[in-house]
Every structure is written in C-alpha cells, then in structure tokens.
Structure 1
C-alpha cells in the first residue's frame, strides 16, 4: 500500500496572539508555525491569503524568528539570522522576492520574528515579537493512495 504525504494548514482568525503564543498554540496541536520554503509553498500560502482576504490589514505569524539568544541584538554584518521552526536558516535568496521593500530592517534592534503583512499583500515583514497577530500552522498528513479513490 503506497502512502502519500501532504501538508495540512490551519489558519487562525482569533484570538490575536504574540509570536511565542502562536508557536505554542501550534505545538499544542502537534503542529508548527508554517515554513515558507520551498518557494512554491510560499506562493501557495501568499496566494491563498490574497484570495481569502484581499486588501486586508490582517497579519499572520509564520515560523521564522531569530534564535532566542539573539533577540534584541543587532544583525551580524552578513545580514539577518532568521531560522525556520525546523531549525533551517531562512534562505534569503529564495525568500527575497517575498519581503516588503526595505525589509528585513531590524528597526530598533528588536525585530525578532517574521510575519505576513496584510497591508503589503502578505509580504514578509520582520517585526517585534510582542505584536499580536493571527497565525498559520502546518502539519504533515499521511494517507494511503486508496483513500483518494472514489468508492
């Protein structure tokens, strides 16, 4: 029996929470904040949000942050040091086209997390971890090929 692995996404609408609370909210359900790599996954999520809430002011926490020991510090000379919830570094060359113009900028040395900004058609925005937003979780889902066939 062949097993097909896919990804399920959960988009929250309320309550608005901080990034750390969003991360814990995903973990409590066996999920993690969404990782927007590879580029096709980012295109899918951003496209979905623009269809569901076009021109919205809604923001969504995603699974990228600076490592906890680097919060509230300046970026290194080589640029931001964001990592995905999987532990992999955010590939800035892959995600570059998804960032708001001029971002990431680490304004006031406290932009420790990344969110999708509704005011910018869900572009990536580095922001403070204290701001509240909605969030998107993901989890793998496995099914047998037989479960996809019509009966």
Structure 2
C-alpha cells in the first residue's frame, strides 16, 4: 500500500514538473529547454527561439553545461547557443541578457578557442570538439537550443 501511494505521489510530482514547460520543451532545474529537430543559421535560431517565447540558450554554470552536453552529444550534431562577439571582436556577449562573458563567468571553450578563424562570431557546442564551445561563422546551419523559465504562462491571443 505504501509503495502504491509513493508511486502515485511521484507520478504527480513528475507530471506537475512537466506541466510547467510548453509542449516540445523539457525541464531541467526549473528551466525549460527546446532541442531543435531542424537546422538554422545563428540568427535564424535566435529568431526561432523568440517565436517560442524563449531565448537561445545562455549557459551559466557547469551543471547546466553538463546537462546540455549530455542531451546533445548522442546526436552527432553541433548546436547553437546564444553567445556571440558580433558587436566587438573578442568580447563575447549573451545575446538576450546582454551579459558580457567575463573572466568570472562560466565558459567551456575547446582548447584554442575562440580563435576567430575566418571571421567567426557565433558560438556553438561543436560536435568535432567533443561538444566544447567553438566560435564559428554565423551563417552555418546548425541545430539549436532554446530556453525559458518553467513558470512562464502561455501566451494567449
């Protein structure tokens, strides 16, 4: 009887947690993530996330980074994130929050990155670099990750 009650409570908690994310998103640590099925340029990915009421993912901690790498690394694809140095070369900024990636902020660059080879201004999880961060040309088409907080109510209208 106790195990049945425990199972019912556990399923209720899981259902409640999943209900906080829009369809197609999944929750991790009170944030909802969308992993695209198709590919877009960096700006296309940024605009697609906005259409979902979300933003291109901003990676703020080692825990979040580990979760995202775990989710994407089995795909064999590279994935856009919301980091770029499009305005000032060498100054990487999270596009939605406009937070500058400084010495005290979290980062997980692949060795030798960022290198701005061939005017690379956008950042992705690079399949060829074991899903560490790599700057690359913004007009490449890649998969992308959107994020939004789990308690945002749906848009009506």
Q: Which residue of 1 aligns with 2:83?
A: 64
Q: Which residue of 1 aligns with 2:140?
A: 131
1:86 & 1:94 partners in 2: Cα distance? 13
Alpha-carbon displacement from aligned partner over 1:17-36 (angstroms, at most 9, x marks no partner): 10000000000110000111
Shift of residue 118, structure 1, vs aligned partner:
1.1
| TM-score normalized with structure 1 length | 0.74
1:113 & 1:138 partners in 2: Cα distance? 17
Q: Which residue of 2 aligns with 1:82?
A: 92
Q: Which residue of 1 aligns with 2:12?
A: none
Residue 121 (structure 2) pairs with residue 112 (structure 1): yes
SS in 2 for 1:36: coil
Residue 40 (structure 2) pairs with residue 30 (structure 1): no
Residue 111 (structure 2) pairs with residue 101 (structure 1): yes
1:8·1:139 contact (CA, 8 Å) conserved in 2?
Answer: yes
Larger Cα-atom Rg: 2
SS in 1 for 2:53: coil
| TM-score normalized with structure 2 length | 0.71
Q: Unmatched 5+ residue regions in structure 2?
A: 1-19, 21-28, 153-157
Q: Unmatched 5+ residue regions in structure 1?
A: 144-151
How many residues of Structure 1 are paired with residues of Structure 2 in the alignment? 124
Which of 1 and 2 has higher RCO (CA within 8 Å, sep 6+)? 1
Shift of residue 39, structure 1, vs aligned partner:
2.2
Alpha-carbon displacement from aligned partner over 1:46-87 (angstroms, at most 9, x marks no partner): 12223x33xx2x1111010124x43xxxx4xxxx20111211
In the alignment, which of 27, 35, 38 is matched to residue 11 of structure 1? 35
1:142 & 1:37 partners in 2: Cα distance? 19
